[in-house]
Amino acid sequence: MFWRLLWKLLRGSGGRLAVAILALVSCAMVVSALLNLEFDIERKLTQEFRTLGANLLISPRNAQITGSSPAEVMIESEVSAAIQSVKDPNVMAAAPFLYVVGSAQNTAVVIAGTHLEELPKLEPAWRIEGEWKSSQAQQTACLVGRNVAQQLKLAVGSSVSLTYLKKNAQLKVAGIIDAGGAEDNQVFLELAEAQDLAGLPGQISFAQLSVSGTTTGISHYAARLAAALPAYEVKPIRQITEAEGDLLSRIRLLIVSMIVLISALTALCVLGTMAALAMERRQDVGLMKALGGSIGRIVTLFMAEVGVLGAAGGFIGAILGLELSRWMGQRVFGQAISSRWEIFPWTIILTVAIALAGALPLRLLGKVKPAIIFREQ
Amino acid sequence: MATLVRVDDLRKEFGKVRALAGVSFNVEAGEWIAIMGPSGSGKTTLINILGGLDTPTSGQAIVDEVDVARLDESGLTRFRAQKIGFIFQQFHLVPYLTAVENVMLAQYFHSATDEKEAQLALERVGLADRIEHLPGALSGGEQQRVAVARALINHPKLILADEPTGNLDEANEETVIQLFRELHSEGHTILMVTHDPAIGNLADRRIEFAHGRLVKVTPSNDASRNAYR
């Protein structure tokens, strides 16, 4: 009889309850979408953050460049071995660098030796005219910064002659880099070529890594790497990792605030509807009490009605919310956010809780006195 | 016959208004009592107290050995479910429940529901073909018969009827009164508030109220009973 009564109550107040269920569906939809976004935001944002470039630096202790060559250098094989040994799926790119100041066609330039095929992964924001050198076979190809190309009137396919001390290398320009920074004044060539030119075989100035994840995660990885490289300094590039962490925290706070605000507004909407419904049902409650219905049993019946509304609203809203989060992901990140079904029960539980909180006026029905209700009529 | 209802110096005040001013009487099991009197004389207040819908200011109202005045809220709830069958002038059916569901509602609050038994109760009051109808689709007389079936479904010790024919036309009134006659002949104890002297004459005794006081008790006789249409 309980379920029969519940069904009749739901049918009997369809119009008024439609307002409440609409509010609950809307709430569940937005909450579900935001929760889905919240769960995926770290992965999405850290992917986005990686376009900002390297965020971890391995360098000699007290590294500086004196004159035209680095005062202290590191052993490339030691660094490579350490990066290989401290495996982490969050390492998106890693590249060693050897910097020397040489000349190109009698003009002083910074010569940077690195693994050129790692540059697009390490610095995704850099734009290039021409192509990234992607083959180790192209030993004599180089990438030149935009300013260097302008100053030396170089174009893609041009030849450039680099000189360091008394050594000389003839290279072909594979691409012109527009980095929007100091890199526009540099010439990038394969690390082995630069080491040969600088007379520093097997040596590097420093190494840069692009590591995705939270500030804490990156710090943990840095600590592990530092333990494997005790002779060198391993540190996160603080400005970048802190800015990333701060932005992530702010977005999370925004999402949580919105969930709380939407939940409160929905509870108020349900509260208004239920207050009106409670007034309408005073006569029914008076009768039920006259027939021997206990306060607990009657209020349980009405709260169950609200619970069913909350569950139904949560169910429908959660499904719509997952679709909404996909759409939001597409709009904000350019790719759909993957649906997390574990959000589903939590959305329903939250919506039921909101509905029950909004149904507090129904508790007042417990105070209805049948004799007074009948006398009013 | 055993005394089922004992009312002793019963008083009820609503602020400065005295609804009952020291009423005392007994009702034997199986008796049909008509409570009569002008509006505001305290009839409905008495019914409400005996039915556990209201509590007295002082005095005793003992029904089936239970002093209603001493019951707390949950005790009154159990008392209403187990001992009382109400029939109201306004019928008071739940509009979104069918006739049989309205009867089952009383079963639900009493103990367990039995749809077959509820259907039989409706058949007994002549509503076999109205079982699945909503109250809005029933005439006043039919609604009151549903209310009678609902009042009887839990086999109450005492049936309290507050002007049960007050909203009915003549034909429906006769049908409902015939039901009360049958209930009386089956041994049910009935306290019925009525303004109609002809209906009052059908009861075993007429108890008349004025200004919250019991002013007259008149036993009926066969002549007066036969006077009802």
Residue A137 is predicted with a pLDDT of: 55
Chain pair A-B, CB pairs under 8 angstroms: 71
Residues in chain B where the model's pLDDT stays below 50: none
Residue A64 counted as domain residue: yes
Q: Are A23 and A158 within one domain?
A: no
Chain B CB contacts of A283 under 8 Å are: 92
Q: Which of A201, A236, A271 marks a domain boundary?
A: A236
Residue A242 counted as domain residue: no
Residue A277 is predicted with a pLDDT of: 79
Residue in B53, B78, B101 nearest the CB of A370 = B53
| Structural domain count of chain A | 2
**Contact: A291, B78; criterion CB under 8 Å:** no
pLDDT in tens, chain A (377 residues): 888 888 887 887 777 788 888 888 988 898 888 888 877 777 777 667 766 778 888 988 765 545 555 567 889 999 999 988 888 888 888 999 999 999 988 889 999 999 988 888 888 888 889 888 655 555 688 999 999 999 999 998 888 889 988 888 888 898 999 988 888 999 999 999 999 998 889 999 999 998 877 777 888 888 999 999 888 988 887 666 677 777 778 888 888 898 889 888 888 888 888 888 778 888 888 888 898 888 888 888 888 888 888 999 999 998 898 888 888 877 877 766 777 788 888 889 988 988 888 887 777 777 778 878 777 66
**Contact: A377, B80; criterion CB under 8 Å:** no
Q: Which domain holds residue A119?
A: 55-236
Mutate to test the interface with B, among A17, A291, A297 (most CBs of B within 10 A): A291
Q: Are A6 and A120 within one domain?
A: no
The rounded distance, in Å, linking the Cα atoms of A278 and A361 is 7
Residue in B81, B92, B101 nearest the CB of A4 = B101
Q: Are A272 and A314 within one domain?
A: yes
Residue A241 counted as domain residue: no
Q: Are A216 and A339 within one domain?
A: no
Residue A110 counted as domain residue: yes
* ipTM reported for the complex, 2 dp: 0.86
Residue in B74, B95, B109 nearest the CB of A288 = B109
B8-64: pLDDT as tens digits: 999 999 888 899 998 999 999 999 999 999 988 899 999 999 999 999 999 999 999
**Contact: B113, A289; criterion CB under 8 Å:** no
Residue A7 counted as domain residue: yes
